Amino acid sequence: MATPFKRSALTLLAATLAAGALFSSGAQAEGKISIAQQFGIGYLILDVVRDQQLIEKHGKAQGLEIKVDWNSISGATAMNEALLTGALDVVSAGVPPMLTVWDRTKGKQNVKAIAALGSMPNYLLTNNPNIKTLKDFSDKDRIAVPAAGVGFQSRTLQIETAREFGDEQFKKFDNISVSLPHPDATAALIAGGSEINSHFSSPPFQYQALQNPNVHKVLSSYDILGGPATFNVLYTTEKFHDENPKTYKAFYDALAEAENIIKADKPAAAQAYIRVEQSKLPLALVEQIVKDPEIDFTVVPQRTFIYAEKLQELGVLKNKAGSWKDYFFEEAHGGAGS
């Protein structure tokens, strides 16, 4: 079962690991991997990996028993903090937060992406009937996002804001953005009556919210990025990648197998999601989402380089990537990524 990580827990775990490092060589032993995911069906590949114990399966194929530690964290900031303190081996977040930590650790921890977790649209939703476009938002509105200013939704919104209002105003909506986990933001949007009247959401929460007649879509991330694009990715440090080749291979092979499992039997994948996430969503709704033609559960990255280029132009990233392969480990280079 996943265990929620609080900041205090992260701090305590980081301190414990730091103390332990004084009595060890600092190398991560093969056969152990700690993974964190966020909330939502965007992590279905990981849910199937976990449900089918695919990491353990691929480890055994190499003669290695692998102990897997699963954790749940909301927000990219906490994810990156956990990775860089050594509290976790592998974390997951949207493409922009991964690029931020790649940029900041270049030449140091050298964090890179392992694989994509799928391409799916994120919808900017509101229960304010007066909001039809970005230009209709005012200082009285509040937009819920998992990680205000830095997460996938905020960075995607910044790219569109730069297009609409000019690069110098790309942070225009940061001051009305509020950090809130997707489940809480969805509940607030549906209930109404709170300061949170908008939510840059993700599956399955956006579909759940849209069942309420008072909620409508303002725009989709696909509108901003020009088509299907990777929502979230898995990433780790160069140290973990290089010092644990068998564990890393087992993990990557497990992800690839999970993609094939989902595409071969989407109803079964929907059931796995409900089991692992202990979701109370109707199975029919989850199946509908998994079968949505806009969504592709794939480990191959799509349109990630748009973020790398634009965020560097806006000054968010210091380092300029030559291609998407600069910030993905080589195991992912075989696919037709972008």
- Name the phi and psi angles at 317, rounded to 5: -105, 135
Range of the domain at 176: 123-225
Residue 217 maps to a domain? yes
Kindly state whether residue 92 falls inside one of the protein's structural domains: yes
- Expressed in percent and rounded to 5, the helix, strand and coil fractions of the chain are 50, 15, 35
Contact between residue 116 and residue 230 where contact means Cβ atoms under 8 Å apart: yes
Confidence of residue 39 (pLDDT cuts 50, 70, 90): confident
Residue 338 resides in a domain: no
Question: What is the domain-level CATH number for residue 207?
Answer: 3.40.190.10
Amino acid at 186: T
95 and 201 assigned to the same domain? no
C-alpha torsion angle, residues 153, 154, 156, 158 (rounded to 10): 160
What percent of the chain shows pLDDT beyond 70? Answer: 91
> Is residue 7's pLDDT more than 80?
no
Same domain, 249 and 308: yes
Domain count, the chain: 2
pLDDT of residue 72: 87
Please determine, for residue 5, whether its predicted confidence score (pLDDT) is greater than 70: no
Among the candidates 198, 225, 252, a domain finishes at 225
pLDDT band of 76, cuts 50, 70, 90:
confident
- pLDDT of amino acid 9: 41
Predicted pLDDT of residue 311? 96
Question: Can you tell me the distance from the alpha carbon of 32 to that of 73, in angstroms, rounded to the nearest whole number?
Answer: 19
C-beta of residue 217 within 8 angstroms of C-beta of residue 201: no
Pairing of strands 232-236, 112-116: antiparallel
Q: Calculate ∠ Cα 89-91-92, nearest 5°.
A: 160
Domain check: are 251 and 294 in the same one? yes
Nearest to 36 by CA among 301, 304, 308, 232: 232
